[in-house]
Homo-oligomer: A and B are copies of this chain.
Amino acid sequence: MKDMENIPAMMAEIGARARAAATELAFAPSDAKTRALNAAADAVWARREEIIAANARDMAFGRDKGLSPAMLDRLMLDETRIQGIVAGLRAVAAQNDPVGEVITEWDMDSGLHIKRVRTPLGVIGVIYESRPNVTADAGALCLKAGNAVILRGGSESFHSSGLIHECLQAGLRAAGLPEDAIQRVPTRDREAVAEMLRMTDFIDVIVPRGGKGLVGLVQREARVPVFAHLEGIVHIYVDKAADPEKAMKVVLNAKTRRTGICGAAECLLIHRDLAAGLGADLIAALVAAGVTVHADAALARLPGTVPATDDDWGREYLDMDIAAKLVDDVDGAIAHIRRYGSNHTDAILTEDDAAAERFFTRLDSAILMRNASTQFADGGEFGMGAEIGIATGKMHARGPVGAEQLTSFKYIVLGDGAVRG
């Protein structure tokens, strides 16, 4: 790593080290991984003042660079946020080790006993933007699943991420695990990202964490498989048979609890028969809560709405805005979601089992919900512990990506001298 000028050579060296570490990690004892994560948590807490000071340098850099207040907020670390990082590391430490788990096993008449056993995936590349806590979260989850990881954080969090990374490596050392298990790209040069996306020999999966710009770039350019979602264009369909009380609670929560997360509702589809009743009530409540409702022609006469344009369908506002539209029935909702959705999370509010079943079988979002707030689209709320992200692709991992989704499997076949006839 001496020659920072030669990015491809530097990245190839990082990749080769990661591959070697992954080979060792594949059979690392569970308790060593747990010890490493707890020791890393201790180190982060012990060095919190240093980390906060480094973060101040990052914040100054970010302000000079003209980062938005929202971006600066994501970048900022204080003692409370460092407590959060420490708690996250300890929570992953306490999770069950997925590696070695027997997923399923069975006997064959030939006398063979066959087991499908969980194994690490190998080497994960994580490319992220300003949040320095991703350094700890992603490093911890990858290690838990026995994977080596190459972290490439945003230039904004360079100093704070660097110190958190040092703490993770201190944890690895304390547990006798290879330090190369968690590496960090030691340059702000963007060429390093381009290299990572093409390193199919050294990286098994890339996980991008950040805005649409970053994720779109990774999805377009990567030769390495990617676990990601580009957007969460989350729809809620309020069916004719919706329970009004549940609908009111769920719609308000799904839109307004937090608007900046990928599970926030972005489009409300309302059964035509509800236009003057529950539908109007829902829109009035959203308006009263401060939401700008971009309504289609049929709903635009409702007070407080603004007329929707073509751009409002399939739009991810991530703000106090929602599109709203009347549809004829569940099939109308399905057709709209197929056209404008992003296969992330979509919900139906109904007491009608047949309508729910139709919605579930005819749509193919990673997460489909009934009578529940789409804000539950989250690894923690699914009981997976931490998540490294949410994936909308259909290959390998889908929905919240936790430690278990960062694994593969192999078959163990036991015989007693069995031969094939």
Q: Which residues of A are interface residues toward B (Cβ below 8 A)?
A: 23, 26-27, 100, 106, 108, 110, 112, 114, 117, 119, 121-122, 204-205, 223, 225, 243, 245-246, 249-250, 252-254, 257, 338, 360-362, 364-373, 375-376, 381-383, 394-396, 398-399, 408-420
Distance of A284 from chain B, by nearest CB (Å)? 19
A225:B114 contact, CB within 8 angstroms: no
Distance of A421 from chain B, by nearest CB (Å)? 8
Question: How many angstroms between the C-alpha atoms of A394 and B409 in the bound complex?
Answer: 7
Pick from B225, B364, B376, B399: contact of A225, CB below 8 A: B225
Distance of A221 from chain B, by nearest CB (Å)? 11
Question: How many angstroms between the C-alpha atoms of A409 and B418 in the bound complex?
Answer: 35
Question: How many angstroms between the C-alpha atoms of A390 and B162 in the bound complex?
Answer: 42
Pick from B121, B364, B371: contact of A414, CB below 8 A: B371
Pick from B23, B100, B122, B375: contact of A420, CB below 8 A: B375
A382 partner residues in chain B, CB cutoff 8 A: 108, 114, 411
Pick from B119, B366, B371, B396: contact of A364, CB below 8 A: B119
Count identical subunits in the complex: 2
Question: How many angstroms between the C-alpha atoms of A395 and B223 in the bound complex?
Answer: 14
Question: How many angstroms between the C-alpha atoms of A121 and B394 in the bound complex?
Answer: 6
Name the CB-closest residue of B to A360.
B412
Given A249-B417, A257-B420, A383-B106, answer yes or no on A398-B410 (Cβ-Cβ < 8 Å).
yes
Given A114-B382, A205-B395, A373-B419, answer yes or no on A366-B411 (Cβ-Cβ < 8 Å).
yes
A26 partner residues in chain B, CB cutoff 8 A: 361-362, 364
A410 partner residues in chain B, CB cutoff 8 A: 364-368, 398-399
Question: How many angstroms between the C-alpha atoms of A122 and B394 in the bound complex?
Answer: 8
Question: How many angstroms between the C-alpha atoms of A257 and B420 in the bound complex?
Answer: 8
Question: How many angstroms between the C-alpha atoms of A96 and B407 in the bound complex?
Answer: 26
Pick from B246, B365, B376, B408: contact of A417, CB below 8 A: B246
Name the CB-closest residue of B to A24.
B362
B225:A368 contact, CB within 8 angstroms: no
A110 partner residues in chain B, CB cutoff 8 A: 376, 381
Name the CB-closest residue of B to A26.
B364
Name the CB-closest residue of B to A23.
B338
Question: How many angstroms between the C-alpha atoms of A417 and B249 in the bound complex?
Answer: 7
A416 partner residues in chain B, CB cutoff 8 A: 246, 371
Distance of A390 from chain B, by nearest CB (Å)? 11
A415:B371 contact, CB within 8 angstroms: yes
A413:B370 contact, CB within 8 angstroms: yes
- From A253, A338, A418, residue with most partner B Cβ within 10 Å: A418
Distance of A338 from chain B, by nearest CB (Å)? 8
A361 partner residues in chain B, CB cutoff 8 A: 26-27, 100
Question: How many angstroms between the C-alpha atoms of A66 and B355 in the bound complex?
Answer: 60
Question: How many angstroms between the C-alpha atoms of A11 and B253 in the bound complex?
Answer: 45
Name the CB-closest residue of B to A370.
B414
Distance of A354 from chain B, by nearest CB (Å)? 13
Question: How many angstroms between the C-alpha atoms of A168 and B204 in the bound complex?
Answer: 37
A225 partner residues in chain B, CB cutoff 8 A: 225, 395
A417:B245 contact, CB within 8 angstroms: yes
B420:A381 contact, CB within 8 angstroms: yes
A394 partner residues in chain B, CB cutoff 8 A: 119, 121-122, 204, 408
A409 partner residues in chain B, CB cutoff 8 A: 398
